């Protein structure tokens, strides 16, 4: 009931689209009875969790921040939800987000923007803005978001909390409403690295409902923080720290932090990386292409909003349903994606972007053959004012420069809330590790924090 009261007090932040008041209280009482009767409590016994509105929760609405799914009720649980519940978590509500997880400010939600709890004139970041604010403002203990190109790490950076994106295939995507399937991963917002590790341990691992899942056994992340004296081999891209889009204060803070790590005995070395300016274009070509295909299922028949009038044939019906149901940003991306996949342009855009992705994957292997982790800023600038960037989508896209790398390469990444900016806003350090190496990522993060 503490968290329910917090949510009510902070309702102006618009972080929740729905709060499961009675249900959460009932669940808490059941869990109490369960442990009182001598049963062994689960890993997340009594942990209060919120879910981004793209993660299916059986018999609860799941709308992806969109009018097209406004009245959709999930008919099954996402694997991650199933596992949260099995571990004893209490799901307290569903969080506002950018429509179909497309955006960086949470201003693309059909249900209104979310406000940053640190400064309500600023955005919380996106697309998992509501889930970030829910943890930032103390409205729950941990929350699940999704990260296709930074949607967990970037809002964690803007809100001053921990945001973990596991490597591709670590957490089942079953029941996660797809944006770009070869990039999407469910991620975790938490107040500490330990909380993120424990939550990951509960939700990760093999799942017969996701053919892209890794079959590696899940390590005991939460019990692996003993070796605080281990020294790490850390790489960074000089090009990233010298990029013209990077705020000077952020560059200086990250640089001084690296000097500090070196003084503590870690090895820190620059790695040459000349692809920085290609990764955002490659990301937006590939993700919009996948989105245009994924979102074709929302046709007004199989799911969601169906036009009632003003159509004379099936094509008209699709047009009416989708024109009303989808918001501006989603339409922009469906059109972009359809264009880059169209005959005559496919090779010029889609094939080239895939080649960039391939080169990146090779480069990533090279880096992690030599280094434990790769560090960078999470975002080039701190949280901006609401409305400040909505007129220029390209500018918004370009700010994803540091986060999309991990999704293109399929590696895990985390944003650690280590710094504070003169604007009064927090910002983070991003740490990345090799595919399947969340363990090193979390251990190093614990040492850095
Ligand atoms: N800002 C990125 C985008 O708009 C990231 C979105 C995400 O990770 N879901 O695509």
DSSP 128-197: SHHHHHHHHTTSSSEEEEEESSSTTHHHHHHHTSEEEEPPTTSB--TTBPPSSTTT-EEEEEESSHHHHH
Q: Ligand 1: which atom is nearest the Cα of residue 284?
A: 10
DSSP string, 344-380: TTTIIIIIHHHHHHHHHHHHHHHHHHH-SEEEEESSS
Helix pair angle (276-294, 352-370), 10° resolution: 120
pLDDT in tens, 174-198: 999 999 999 999 999 999 999 999 9
pTM value is: 0.97
pLDDT value, residue 390: 85
Quote the CA–CA distance of 196 and 143 in Å, as a whole number: 9
Quote the CA–CA distance of 149 and 183 in Å, as a whole number: 7
Residue 434 has pLDDT above 90, yes or no: yes
Residue 131 has pLDDT above 90, yes or no: yes
412's enclosing H/E stretch is none
pLDDT in tens, 52-92: 999 999 999 999 999 999 999 999 999 999 999 999 999 99
Quote the CA–CA distance of 33 and 41 in Å, as a whole number: 11
Please, which pLDDT band fits residue 22 given cuts at 50, 70 and 90? very high
Quote the CA–CA distance of 410 and 402 in Å, as a whole number: 14
pLDDT in tens, 370-416: 999 999 999 999 999 999 998 888 989 999 999 999 999 999 999 99
pLDDT value, residue 327: 97
**Residue 71: CA atoms inside 13 Å, Cβ hemisphere, count?**
5
Quote the CA–CA distance of 399 and 40 in Å, as a whole number: 46
Residue 268 CA to ligand 1 center (angstroms) comes to: 29
Residue 228 has pLDDT above 90, yes or no: no
Q: Please give all residues whose beta carbon lies within 6 A of any atom in ligand 1, as ranges.
A: 101-104, 127, 146-151, 179, 287, 400
Quote the CA–CA distance of 170 and 437 in Å, as a whole number: 10
Averaged pLDDT, 298-306? 92
Quote the CA–CA distance of 133 and 111 in Å, as a whole number: 16
Which positions are catalytic?
Answer: 52, 127, 151
Q: What is the ipTM of this complex?
A: 0.97
Averaged pLDDT, 204-224? 96
CATH of domain 2-223: 3.90.1300.10
Residue 148 CA to ligand 1 center (angstroms) comes to: 6
Q: Residue 62 is encoded by which pair of tokens?
A: 């799941």
3's enclosing H/E stretch is helix 2-9
Tell me the CA distances in angstroms from 421 to 157, 251, 381, 397, 429, one per residue in order.
Answer: 11, 11, 9, 22, 13
Number of CB atoms found within 10 A of residue 67's CB: 17
Asked whether the beta carbons of 97 and 11 are under 8 A apart, the reply is no
């Amino acid at each position: 009931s503490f968290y329910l009261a917090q949510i009510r007090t902070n309702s102006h932040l618009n972080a929740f689209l729905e709060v499961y008041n009675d249900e959460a209280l009932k669940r808490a009482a059941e869990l109490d009875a369960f442990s009182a009767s001598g049963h062994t409590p689960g890993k997340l016994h009594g942990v209060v969790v919120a879910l981004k509105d793209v993660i299916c929760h059986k018999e609860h609405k799941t709308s992806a921040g969109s009018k097209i799914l406004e009245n959709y009720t999930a008919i099954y649980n996402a694997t991650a939800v199933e596992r949260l519940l099995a571990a004893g978590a209490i799901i307290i509500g569903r969080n506002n987000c950018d429509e179909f997880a497309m955006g960086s400010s949470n201003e693309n939600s059909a249900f209104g923007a979310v406000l940053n709890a640190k400064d309500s004139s600023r955005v919380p970041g996106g697309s998992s803005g509501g889930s970030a604010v829910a943890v930032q403002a103390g409205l729950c203990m941990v929350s699940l978001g999704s990260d296709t190109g930074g949607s967990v790490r970037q809002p964690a950076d803007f809100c001053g909390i921990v945001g973990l994106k596991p490597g591709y295939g670590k957490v089942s995507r079953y029941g996660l409403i797809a944006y770009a399937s070869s990039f999407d991963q469910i991620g975790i917002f938490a107040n500490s690295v330990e909380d993120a590790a424990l939550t990951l341990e509960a939700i990760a691992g093999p799942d017969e409902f996701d053919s892209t899942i890794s079959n590696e056994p899940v390590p005991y992340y939460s019990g692996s923080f003993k070796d605080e004296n281990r020294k790490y081999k850390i790489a960074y891209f000089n090009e990233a720290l010298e990029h013209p889009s990077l705020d000077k204060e952020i560059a200086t803070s990250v640089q001084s932090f690296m000097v500090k790590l070196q003084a503590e005995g870690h090895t820190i070395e620059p790695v040459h990386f000349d692809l920085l300016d290609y990764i955002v274009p490659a990301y937006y070509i590939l993700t919009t292409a996948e989105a245009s295909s994924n979102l074709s299922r929302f046709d007004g028949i199989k799911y969601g909003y169906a036009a009632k009038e003003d159509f004379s044939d099936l094509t008209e019906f699709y047009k009416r349903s989708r024109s009303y149901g989808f918001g501006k940003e989603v339409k922009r991306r469906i059109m972009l994606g359809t264009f880059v996949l169209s005959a005559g342009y496919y090779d010029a855009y889609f094939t080239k972007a895939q080649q960039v992705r391939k080169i990146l994957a090779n480069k990533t292997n090279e880096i992690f053959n030599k280094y434990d982790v790769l560090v960078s800023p999470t975002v080039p600038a701190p949280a901006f004012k609401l409305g400040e960037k909505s007129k220029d989508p390209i500018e918004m896209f370009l700010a994803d420069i540091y986060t999309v790398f991990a999704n293109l390469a399929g590696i895990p990444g985390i944003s650690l809330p280590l710094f504070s900016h003169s604007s009064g806003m927090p910002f983070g350090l991003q740490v990345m590790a090799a595919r399947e190496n969340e363990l090193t990522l979390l251990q190093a993060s614990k040492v850095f924090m």
